[in-house]
């Protein structure tokens, strides 16, 4: 952050990301944008916008419809001096590029003894809520968080969407940014100019004493909504926005659990082996476990592909009433 307090404006989440890319392209000639339909079309979710008109097709490059090949080019470019920002149309399509992401980008610096780094940033429109069905609505951040060599972030606000992207560009390792599609239009205060949000640092979005809820991405907002209702019922909830899946902020989470004695993990990805499982294990393996007054509870997505039907789609991921039920049961000793 600059020494002087930056001016704040209201920007949408998508506008904040576009501004971060604009700042990076303008300041560093090694930064390039790559992805399918990010040029004249402006990106699948119109996030790239008119940057191709401003910087030209040599800096904002439409790639062929081949994630494996295009990501391979981005990884190779990163190894040879460029800083590519690669946009996937949907996070689900990362499955087509797993070889390049998991076997190449994540491992090259280690395998070559640190002589080469891979400063590539990958942007993934993720999550449900758009009616895009099972192959375009997944939350796969836990997959990639399992891989040493990758950093995985999930900004929940426009301010962090900009700050984490700019921080990712300063990182020598591959950084994967999972942007929830339902947040693109959400507005919030965003500082002008260049600033960074630290990778690996969670944010306490609401302080409380009775129950810690650790949430990610859009679930942060659903949890905050639930926390307001719970406050009226005499349950004081502390809400932690994890922000980074890998590396995870142990200190903030453990300190909160020591204070409240209860932990609820809320995330959109499938419950089994999800982000909340890692948070739970982290607490269970620490001294914070001795401060718990109740079992740890995970509230994650259903053990199912995301349905197309809008009501079933909602039922497949946690909603505010689900968070309320889980929090009440935990706070009232019914778990």
Indicate which residues carry an active-site annotation. Answer: 67, 136
Residues 6+ apart with CB under 8 A from 202: 214, 240, 241, 242, 243, 244, 249, 252, 253
Helix axes 320-331, 218-232, angle to 10 degrees: 50
- What's the rounded Cα separation, in Å, for the pair 156 and 272? 22
Measured in Å, how far apart are the chain's first and last C-alpha atoms? 43
For residues 86 and 61, what is the distance between their CA atoms, to the nearest angstrom? 10
Nearest to 213 by CA among 244, 253, 248, 243: 253
Contact 13, 47 (CB under 8 A): no
Residue position matching structure tokens 């889980």: 326
∠ CA 248-254-256, nearest 5°, is: 115
Q: Order of strands across the sheet with 60-62? A: 60-62, 31-35, 83-87, 121-126, 175-180, 151-153, 244-246
Distance CA 270, CA 139 (A): 8
Q: Which of 64, 182, 198 is nearest to 131 (CA)?
A: 182
């Amino acid at each position: 952050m600059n020494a002087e307090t930056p001016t704040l404006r209201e920007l949408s989440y998508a506008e904040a990301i576009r501004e971060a890319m604009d700042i990076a392209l303008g300041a560093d000639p090694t930064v390039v944008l790559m992805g399918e339909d990010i040029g004249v079309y402006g990106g699948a979710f119109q996030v790239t916008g008119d940057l191709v008109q401003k910087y030209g097709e040599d800096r904002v490059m439409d790639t062929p419809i081949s994630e494996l090949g295009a990501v391979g080019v981005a990884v190779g470019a990163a190894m040879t001096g460029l800083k590519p920002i690669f946009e996937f149309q949907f996070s689900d399509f990362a499955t087509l590029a797993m070889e390049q992401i998991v076997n190449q980008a994540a491992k090259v610096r280690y395998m070559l003894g640190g002589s080469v780094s891979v400063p590539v940033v990958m942007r993934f429109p993720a999550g449900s809520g758009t009616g895009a069905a099972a192959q375009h609505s997944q939350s796969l951040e836990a997959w990639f968080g399992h891989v040493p060599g990758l950093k995985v972030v999930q900004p929940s606000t426009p301010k962090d969407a900009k700050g984490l992207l700019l921080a990712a560009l300063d990182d020598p390792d591959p950084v994967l940014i999972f942007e929830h599609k339902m947040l693109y239009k959400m507005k919030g205060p965003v500082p002008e100019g260049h600033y960074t949000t630290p990778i690996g640092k969670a944010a306490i979005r609401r302080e409380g004493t009775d129950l810690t809820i650790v949430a990610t991405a859009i679930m942060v907002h659903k949890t905050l909504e639930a926390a307001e209702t719970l406050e009226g019922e005499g349950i004081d909830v502390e809400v932690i926005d994890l922000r980074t899946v890998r590396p995870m902020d142990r200190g903030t989470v453990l300190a909160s659990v020591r204070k409240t004695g209860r932990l609820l993990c809320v995330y959109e990805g499938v419950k089994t082996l999800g982000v909340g499982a890692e948070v739970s294990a982290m607490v269970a393996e620490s001294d914070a476990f001795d401060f718990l007054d109740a079992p740890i509870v995970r509230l994650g997505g259903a053990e199912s592909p995301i349905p197309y039907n809008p009501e079933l789609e909602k039922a497949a991921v946690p909603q505010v009433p689900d968070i309320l039920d889980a929090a009440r049961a935990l706070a009232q000793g019914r778990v």
